[in-house]
């Protein structure tokens, strides 16, 4: 079970690597090691860990994003886009004017993403760029939409990443974040804790990446702010009309905001 303390929210100065306190400048390197280790098995592990639920949640994200079906130009930046899952889903749903930039700090995750993009024949529509969510390598007002799926909790300074999201969006641009959140259904939360702390690390061992990276992933979920405080952080970055919707009882949530 998760100690109540572990559900504490991130404050801006503390750097938590899972339940461990680390120096802020040390944290990103540790996160990068996790994704370098799991990159080749990341998609498989996602299916195993979530029982396939992550596919439904991502589909819901893309439904909310609602890319134009016409030839109208539509530029998405998918930050912490890893293996390009969100970008490929967006392109399958959208029209011929849709383009995506997958921006991720991990070269290993981008390598897996690039081979998926090539296998789907989407290289003309997707660029993959190495970059940090806290200092995006793009000019102001570049994109129509910004997505970040299961990425923002890995970032050391979430407030900085949110300000960067605001900066690179055009006025009228849509910010969408899919992230694990606070399960709000009694009983389901106990089951979820059991699954997270007992089952998931063992799955990591089974698929050969070891338990440790998954322990971090699970712990980092518990350190992430729940729905309303996170919505407050998004407003703080300048976004308006901030809302969220819970998925599977709040195990995950999609937060939405607009740069007006
Ligand atoms: C759990 S994966 C999510 C991947 C993908 N969005 C998905 O939903 O399948 C988290 C990703 O965040 C990336 N990441 C971690 N810290 C980052 C940062 N500061 N800037 C950009 N990407 C980061 C990792 O490299 C990893 O690819």
Question: What's the pLDDT tens digit per position in 27-65?
Answer: 999 999 999 999 999 998 889 888 899 999 999 999 999
Q: Report pTM.
A: 0.93
- Please give the backbone phi and psi of residue 114, each rounded to the nearest 5 degrees, phi first: -60, -40
Helices (H), ranges, 155-211:
158-168, 188-194, 200-206
12-28: per-residue pLDDT in tens?
455 777 777 888 888 99
98-153: per-residue pLDDT in tens?
999 999 999 999 999 999 999 999 999 999 999 999 999 999 999 999 999 999 99
- pLDDT score for 14: 55
> 224 CB under 6 A from ligand 1?
no
Pick 98 or 199 by higher pLDDT. 98
> 90 CB under 6 A from ligand 1?
no
Give CA–CA dist 28/36, Å, rounded.
12
159-189: per-residue pLDDT in tens?
999 999 999 999 999 999 999 999 989 888 8
| Band (9; pLDDT cuts 50, 70, 90) | very low
- pLDDT score for 211: 84
Q: Work out the number of other CB atoms within 10 angstroms of the CB of residue 25.
A: 9
Give CA–CA dist 47/200, Å, rounded.
11
Q: Atom 27 (ligand 1): residue with closest C-alpha?
A: 82
- pLDDT score for 216: 84
Pocket test of ligand 1: the residue of 45, 135, 154 to mutate, having most ligand atoms within 8 Å of its CB, is: 154
Cα of 236 from ligand 1 centre, angstroms: 22
């Amino acid at each position: 079970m998760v100690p109540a303390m572990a559900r504490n929210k991130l404050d801006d100065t503390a750097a938590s690597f899972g339940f461990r306190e680390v120096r802020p400048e040390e944290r990103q390197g540790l996160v990068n090691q996790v994704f370098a280790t799991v990159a080749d098995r990341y998609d498989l592990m996602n299916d195993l860990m979530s029982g396939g639920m992550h596919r439904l949640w991502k589909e819901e994200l893309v439904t909310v994003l609602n890319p134009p079906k016409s030839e109208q130009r539509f530029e998405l930046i998918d930050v912490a886009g890893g293996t390009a899952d969100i970008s490929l889903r967006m392109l399958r749903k959208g029209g011929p004017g849709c383009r995506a930039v997958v921006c991720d700090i991990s070269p290993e995750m981008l390598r897996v993403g690039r081979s998926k993009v090539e296998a789907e024949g989407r290289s003309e529509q997707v660029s993959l760029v190495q970059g940090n969510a806290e200092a995006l390598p793009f000019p102001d007002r570049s994109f129509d939409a910004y997505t970040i799926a299961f990425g923002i909790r890995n970032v050391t300074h979430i407030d900085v990443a949110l300000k960067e999201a605001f900066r690179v969006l055009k006025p009228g641009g849509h910010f969408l974040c899919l992230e694990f959140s606070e399960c709000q259904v009694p009983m389901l939360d106990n089951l979820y804790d059991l699954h997270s702390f007992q089952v998931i690390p063992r799955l990591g061992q089974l698929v050969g990446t070891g338990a440790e990276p998954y322990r971090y992933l699970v712990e980092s979920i518990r350190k992430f702010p729940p729905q309303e405080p996170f919505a407050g952080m998004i407003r703080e970055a300048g976004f308006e009309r901030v809302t969220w919707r819970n998925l599977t009882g709040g195990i995950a949530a999609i937060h939405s905001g607009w740069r007006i």
